A and B are shown apart, each in its own frame.
Chain A
Amino acid sequence: DAKTTQPPSMDCAEGRAANLPCNHSTISGNEYVYWYRQIHSQGPQYIIHGLKNNETNEMASLIITEDRKSSTLILPHATLRDTAVYYCIVFMNRDDKIIFGKGTRLHILP
């Protein structure tokens, strides 16, 4: 079973920041938080990952709470191309088996 809980769907206006929450209350100390997304008719694509500190790359920012029980993926200026299903996943890097949950379907509204 997936170790994360995400809302099934969210809406965001184009140009605004999209904030996607994820709960992972049973995360262990050596488990990372990873985010993938899947655009329609494509395979999932890596976005970002983190352990304790907040992370930022060219695609998004990842904010992890101090207790590590939840995190938020931030797309700073959402575009229509960001419409996708977003998956939050926790696992240890040594464990190569990823368990995808059902994710959050993000709709970007023009």
Chain B
Amino acid sequence: DVKVTQSSRYLVKRTGEKVFLECVQDMDHENMFWYRQDPGLGLRLIYFSYDVKMKEKGDIPEGYSVSREKKERFSLILESASTNQTSMYLCASSRPGQGRYEQYFGPGTRLTVT
């Protein structure tokens, strides 16, 4: 069974803290993605990665960075958390070149910044 796991389901951090959100997939997928989801705005792509040590900006990268040192792990970093980064964060992975293209999502991390 394919699996994408995220380090925490719920997280509470203070303004200004450095926050790490970890995502691990066990499917040997090349592609990994970070989204945030807010009411009324749907899913928005923050960053994605096509391979180890590669990263591409999505639609809303400001205030975030990422790290992909190993194929199975993709980390989202909030260098200095702010209250407007309170959101649901979703990680996904995929394998390129499939006839049926599918992104597999993790359960999400609900981050609250106070």
Q: Interface on A for B, CB 8 Å cutoff? A: 2, 32, 34, 36, 41-46, 49, 87, 93-94, 96-103
What is the count of residue pairs linking A and B with beta-carbon distances less than 8 angstroms? 55
Dominant SS among interface residues on chain A = loop
- Mask for B35-70, Cβ within 8 A of A = 1, else 0? 100001111110010100000001100000000000
**CB-defined contacts of A42 to chain B, threshold 8 Å:** 105, 107-108
Number of interface residues, chain B, beta carbon within 8 A:
28
Task: Specify which of B59, B96, B108 is in contact with A96 (CB 8 Å cutoff).
Answer: B96
Contact A49 B101, beta carbon cutoff 8 Å: yes
Q: Interface on B for A, CB 8 Å cutoff? A: 4, 31, 35, 40-45, 48, 50, 58-59, 90, 92, 94, 96-103, 105-108
Q: Chain A nearest CB: distance from B3 CB in Å?
A: 11
**CB-defined contacts of A36 to chain B, threshold 8 Å:** 103
Contact A43 B94, beta carbon cutoff 8 Å: no
Task: Specify which of B58, B100, B106 is in contact with A43 (CB 8 Å cutoff).
Answer: B106
Q: Chain A nearest CB: distance from B97 CB in Å?
A: 8
List 24 contacting pairs A-B, 8 Å CB cutoff, sorted by A: A42-B105, A43-B4, A43-B90, A43-B92, A43-B106, A44-B90, A44-B105, A46-B103, A87-B42, A93-B98, A94-B96, A96-B94, A97-B45, A97-B48, A97-B58, A98-B103, A99-B45, A99-B59, A100-B35, A100-B42, A100-B44, A102-B40, A102-B42, A103-B42
